[in-house]
Amino acid sequence: MTLHLWLAYLVAAIAIALSPGPGAVLAMSHGLSWGVRAASVTILGLQAGLALILLVAGAGVGAVLLASGTAFTVVKVLGAAYLLWLGLHQWRAPVALAGGVDGAAARTSPVQAPLLSARQRFLRGLLTNATNPKGIVFMVAVLPQFMAPTRALVPQLLVLLATTITVDFIVMHGYALLAASLRGWLNSARAQRTQNRIAGAVLMAMGASLAFVGRVARA
């Protein structure tokens, strides 16, 4: 891979990472609920899922999924179902009131959402990206544009993988940091419920939108 080609992919990777998606919503939700440090585990899970999709696409399995209507539909349904479940869970997430405050005082008292375990946060991140068929469609369609057919496949794939994960890791932390910086203004029971429902609604909408994801047309 030439430097010129890598720089072109770097620009594409930044644009992809900055575009809103389930990963960004999850990173912001966990950053707002528990802070950047806790959200870092979620973001590591997101990178694991992203790496899996990239490797699957790069190895040609993604092309097989796109070529098989049944296989692609299975992946799409699983991804949609997971995002819908995650969104519903976020919508209904309880809020923990500081000092046992309830009633009218709960509207202004600081709250902290129950912290998921590191394993739960990592798995949620991993499954959010790994079950997203949009990622497979994108990788299969885009990766070949940045790979030289006359050069070895594995080194090029590793470079693209490292670039993608590094960029997305930084951008997702930016989203989590932005959300965490708002905790002082949104640290109340009412605000927490509103945040949970907005994040949940967005995730469910993204899950529902997967029904319209189609396969890349074959030549």
> What is the DSSP secondary-structure string of 91-122?
HT---PBGGG--GGGGGTS-B-PPPPPHHHHH
Query: Looking at the predicted structure, is the pLDDT value of residue 143 above 90?
Result: no
Of 84 and 179, the structure prediction assigns the larger pLDDT to 179
> What is the DSSP secondary-structure string of 8-30?
HHHHHHHHHHHS--HHHHHHHHH
| Confidence band for 218, pLDDT divided at 50, 70 and 90 | very low
| Nearest one of 162, 164, 127 to 142, comparing CA atoms | 164
Cα atoms found within 13 Å of the Cα of residue 73, Cβ hemisphere only:
3
Pairwise CA distance, residues 100 & 181, whole Å: 25
Query: Looking at the predicted structure, is the pLDDT value of residue 66 above 80?
Result: no
The pLDDT assigned to 11 comes to 83
Of the listed ranges 5-14, 48-57, 98-107, 158-167, the least confidently predicted one is 98-107
Place of tokens 């479940």: 85
Pairwise CA distance, residues 75 & 130, whole Å: 10
**Lookup: tokens for 117:** 């375990």
Domain boundaries, the chain: 3-14+22-212
The pLDDT assigned to 8 comes to 82
Q: Average pLDDT in the 56-61 region? A: 72
pLDDT by residue (tens digit) across 182-199? 776 655 666 667 767 777
Q: Average pLDDT in the 132-153 region? A: 70
The pLDDT assigned to 194 comes to 74
pLDDT by residue (tens digit) across 14-40? 877 887 788 888 998 888 888 899 999
Of 68 and 152, the structure prediction assigns the larger pLDDT to 152
Mean pLDDT over the full length of the chain: 75
pLDDT by residue (tens digit) across 90-135? 777 666 544 444 444 444 444 456 778 899 999 999 998 888 776 7
| Confidence band for 163, pLDDT divided at 50, 70 and 90 | very high
